[in-house]
Structure 1
Amino acid sequence: MADIDIEIAYACPEKQVLYRLRVPAGTTVRHALHKSPLAQDFPELDTNGVPLGIFGKRADDHTVLQAHDRIEVYRALIANPKQARRKRAAQAKQHQA
């Protein structure tokens, strides 16, 4: 089997990383993540359970990668977006008064 080139992207508040890897064709999303240096660079990250996607679309662990796919490692939201919007709107209204 031929090898394929892929990327793994991860962003945290301190920095962003993009790893370029060559993996065997037929490699799954989770297997590629484990082959990357991500766990070594971010030991606090649970690489077994962290949600993943490919180009912004959620992917399960058994999704087989295609050449040039970019795996995105997602983090938990810090705040509920709807609640954060309401809070900002209330603060803006308060400052206008």
Structure 2
Amino acid sequence: MHSDQPLIHVEVVYALPNMQRVLKLAVVADTPIQEIIEQSGILAMYPDIDLKKNKVGIYSRNVKLDGTAREGDRIEIYRPLVADPREIRRKRAEQAKLEADKNK
């Protein structure tokens, strides 16, 4: 890290089903997203994160690992979807209909 380059403050976030892990760090302004994630230490904490598979975004917008962050950015690592959200909603609606029919 060169002292003549400005530092920016960012967060690296990984959401689990029951909690969210937020790591705050200061990095040199032009550090690539992948490097920021590696510097945060989150990959050691959660070995299931695979940057080749997990999508990454800043404030819910997908970004490339070679992109850069700006002051205050929240770098989010997304877990792969286990099921299609439309499929889950359809099953819930079916279940609700069955419950309603049963209670008639």
Q: Structure 2 CA distance, aligned partners of 1:33 and 1:2?
A: 19
> Is the partner of 1:71 in helix, strand or coil?
strand
Aligned to 1:62: 66
What 5-or-longer segments of structure 1 have no aligned partner? none
8 Å CA contact retained: 1:33, 1:47: no
What 5-or-longer segments of structure 2 have no aligned partner? none
Aligned to 2:76: 72
Larger Rg computed on CA atoms? 2
Aligned to 1:40: 44
After superposition, where does 1:1-97 map in structure 2 within 5 Å? 1-97=5-101
> Is the partner of 2:80 in helix, strand or coil?
coil
TM-score, length basis structure 1: 0.92
Q: Once superposed, what is the RMSD of the aligned Cα atoms?
A: 1.2
Deviation at 1:48, TM superposition (A): 4.6
Deviation at 1:56, TM superposition (A): 0.8
Q: Structure 1 CA distance, aligned partners of 2:10 and 2:41?
A: 14
How much identity, in percent, do the aligned residues show? Answer: 33
TM-score, length basis structure 2: 0.86
| More displaced 10-residue stretch of structure 1: 48-57 or 33-42 | 48-57
Q: 1:47-72 deviations in whole A, cap 9, x for unaligned?
A: 45421000110001121111111100
8 Å CA contact retained: 1:39, 1:47: no
> Is the partner of 1:60 in helix, strand or coil?
coil
* Count of equivalent residues: 97
